[in-house]
Structure 1
């Protein structure tokens, strides 16, 4: 796996990796205390720090782990009191939450949102706090740059591993449908054929995609990239132009239309976002869907999925320019935060998200309780600092890895040869929002006019892009 990761991350130098709601799944189940001892840079006065906790509905074991890590952190930092808040990032509510002041001091954002929040002065400059992070803040520069402002300062801090989108499939449904769970589909024609067979044999939805809260547009972009298309092009003047009505997007929508209306293989629930599609998949109601490679952790923590049913494969790639959409999550601090709050926030981000990469002791401490509580350890990821660091980390935790990696080899053995692509760089969430109704229409209207729907969505997206580029 490490060799494939090295090849995958090499591509990050020329593309920007980003994420959406899916990347904001629950934080890892535990975090070490070994590398969070008090230092001379401790807050000068007591700080009450509110931070992102777990997703709503997280398992008691995950909640126990989080509470324990808060306790360990507070013991190591006696003048910082941490209060966690359940949190799920959604494009449809984030702006209102931020404007209304209801977000915690430390919150999570997609890579794509960081630049806009920096430009709007909505998050704090954390550059003078980089020394609080592992390796003096020496993040993979191709990851850190998406949290940097025009002044070169770091505002948002990489918090969760960079990932690529994969095809998640239910091995149990494959078996019931007469399919080999060790041979997932490798072409979109096979995905369609498998979906129909699953639906015919098991009555579950063979294949379905997210449709709302901007996730419909996000996953349609995934399908477009997999077929060699783009949602935006950048001209010689550096300006972006919407290209939602490209041939690859039309093909992706026709695929969904065929699965839904010709094959009757998409089920009956077409109001799915990241959280609800995970829930349905874990409950055995969906045979296949696309999402980030790291979603297995949330499927266990929030949806109690049975490991035996889980499978992960590559998204089929077709065409010379095809690739996999990549993503990740950053941690940010509220604008106007005091020096003491920013310092406390830096210590918490380092403790909760990053300290596992610093030493064998910290890596084992990060994962031991999760392992003891049967929480996921060892879900595939890409380097946060360097490929060598990730290799070393995985070697440290090898005795504790408990995720079904043998069910993920169709992804991990091939990700290194795939091109990792950035999300649409300008007005990303607006582009996704414009596409949500298109995906919904294809699933709910047998006579949906794909060309007309995309033409209208393209105009909407272009207006948002033009506004963002003023």
Structure 2
């Protein structure tokens, strides 16, 4: 049975593979129903940049906006936001389409390839270069300059990711970050200071030993910490150990010593529990349908900030704290996220209107509402760091970790490299395979992928 971490990894891998394989030849107009029209606007930009003065501000225009909000608070908020936007811009009619997360990426990439994509699309921040390079999306530089949008209001790591060859493509919408959650009551019961979470790997291991509880059948009742639970992944620990998987020239470094040390440490922790006990624990955790941390079955876990919202809903009385991910050499976390992009439908008028909606949705006031509805880590720092949110020490700790967070590198020669790395980690942790042997194998596969890509250039 898959572990929760494996399921999350699969989602991440599938999402990235689908997005990075997007066909970028977006051409032709579409009518208000989203159908392809036979010809493009004669004023269509040919350089992948949108014109900031395409049409008079009061000229009627209809645009389409695609997203993943199909139900719940975010669907209700999106409906309200679009109504408010229309009140402010009565000349702009927005036709929205919400598609569930798992179907959205295929539908979006297929539509864009056919030239019938939306004017404004929610997309994956980590793969912006794949679309910018081929002209599938438009640069927003002219709009940003014209309207005086301050990119300094947004998390720097997100702004950097949205640039290709020095130009900005779209605007960041929201992100996430990984942190360490720890059960304060369990800390106290084990004789640990509930206000002093582990700061490094040695402390993390020591605390985990004290917090782990076995039952009379030699099975795990409470696990102190497992790198296989939550949303940690090998690359995070490698970064925290001064490692990495690609050098500045885009060459793979999968088997560098720091990465091997991280994988060996993971195996050391996992081996303490044994395959049989860990397998039984994973089966019980998967059956829960929610995090074992919430259920009181894991004393510490690394997971995304969304877990904080889930705790508030499912276990509001849980005594817990949030801390940085323990590290050996370098503070590190990792993020993923969504942005808003102008699809290149070769229509300046619609692009200009879509920019107005993009600017509105990423403004501080609106992003405060988005956080209030979803609990997400919005991209606008003024919103994410609003004083009324930062009064919460746990939220403040979460936001503060963005200064150390990284995105998985987008490597054109191997866009899904992290998806290929996960099976290596799982084989070592769950099947007792040799860390060096499997990292060497991953290194060889990456070298082959780069070599094959270079032959096509």
Task: Map residues 140-159 of structure 1 onto 2, 5 A cutoff.
Answer: 143-150=158-165, 152-159=166-173
Aligned length: 389
User: Where does the alignment leave 5 or more consecutive residues of structure 1 unmatched?
Assistant: 1-19, 25-38, 357-361, 385-389
Question: Secondary structure of 1:81's partner?
Answer: strand
CA distance in 2, matches of 1:120, 1:171: 50
Any conservation in 2 of the 1:312–1:409 contact (CA below 8 Å)? no
The RMSD of aligned alpha carbons is: 4.4
Whole-Å separation in 2 of the counterparts to 1:287 and 1:332: 40
Output the CA distance in 2 between the equivalents of 1:311 and 1:199.
Answer: 18
CA distance in 1, matches of 2:143, 2:352: 7
Query: 1:457: Cα distance to partner?
Result: 1.2
Alpha-carbon displacement from aligned partner over 1:332-370 (angstroms, at most 9, x marks no partner) = 233436334323332222222x211xxxxx3xx754697
Per-residue Cα deviation, 1:118-159 (whole angstroms, up to 9, x for no partner): 123332333333257663666667753432333x43223222
Q: What is residue 405 of structure 1 aligned with on the other side?
A: 392
**Correspondence 1:51 to 2:66:** yes
Structure 2 contact 126–407 (Cα < 8 Å) conserved = no
Indicate whether 1:355 and 2:369 are aligned: no
| Number of the residue aligned with 2:224 | 206
Indicate the structure (1 or 2) with the bigger Cα radius of gyration: 2
How far apart in 2 are the matches of 1:155 and 1:271? Answer: 44
Provide the C-alpha distance between the structure 1 equivalents of 2:157 and 2:399, rounded to a whole number of angstroms: 21
- Give the aligned partner of residue 72 of structure 1: 84
Match of 2:323 in 1: 313
Match of 2:256 among 233, 240, 246: 246
Give a deviation string over 1:375-397, Cα, whole Å, max 9, x none. 649x6x8875xxxxx4xx678x4
Quick check: 1:295 aligned with 2:306? yes
Q: Match for residue 350 of structure 2? A: 341
Contact 2:119 2:345 in 1 (8 A): no
Equivalent residue, structure 2, for 1:256: 266
Q: Could you tell me whether the CA contact under 8 Å between 2:174 and 2:379 is conserved in 1? A: no
CA shift, 1:451, in A, is: 1.4
1:430 matched residue in structure 2: 416
**351 and 188 in structure 1: CA distance in 2 versus 1, 3 angstrom threshold:** same
- The 1:468–1:306 alpha-carbon spacing in structure 2 relative to 1, beyond 3 Å, is farther
Q: Which residue of 1 aligns with 2:144?
A: 130
User: 1:267-278 to 2 correspondence within 5 Å?
Assistant: 268-269=281-282
SS in 1 for 2:269: helix
Higher relative contact order (CA 8 A, sep 6+): 1
Relative to 1, partners in 2 of residues 1:346 and 1:468: Cα closer, same or farther, differing over 3 Å? farther
2:240–2:331 CA contact under 8 A, matched in 1: yes
CA distance in 2, matches of 1:63, 1:164: 23
SS in 1 for 2:345: coil
Query: Contact between 1:43 and 1:340, CA under 8 Å: does it hold in 2?
Result: no
Whole-angstrom distance in 1 between the partners of 2:179 and 2:384: 21
For 1:369 and 1:291, locate their aligned partners in 2 and report how far apart those are by CA, in whole Å.
21
Change (3 A) 1:50 1:422: closer
TM-score by length of 2: 0.68
CA contact (8 A) 2:363 2:380 kept: no
| 1:185 equivalent in alignment to 2:193 | no
Closer/same/farther in 2, CA of residues 100 and 135 from structure 1, 3 Å limit: closer
The Cα shift of 1:223 comes to 0.5
**Separation of aligned partners in 2, 1:350 and 1:272:** 42
Cα contact 2:325–2:333 (8 A) shared by 1: no
- Distance of aligned partners of 1:440 and 1:118 in 2 relative to their CA distance in 1, 3 Å threshold: same
Q: Do 1:186 and 1:314's aligned partners in 2 also have CA atoms closer than 8 Å?
A: yes
User: Is 1:324 paired with 2:332?
Assistant: yes
Residue 427 of structure 2 is aligned to residue 441 of structure 1 = yes
CA contact (8 A) 2:244 2:253 kept: yes
Asked whether the equivalents of residues 109 and 330 of structure 1 are also in contact (C-alpha less than 8 Å), the reply is: yes
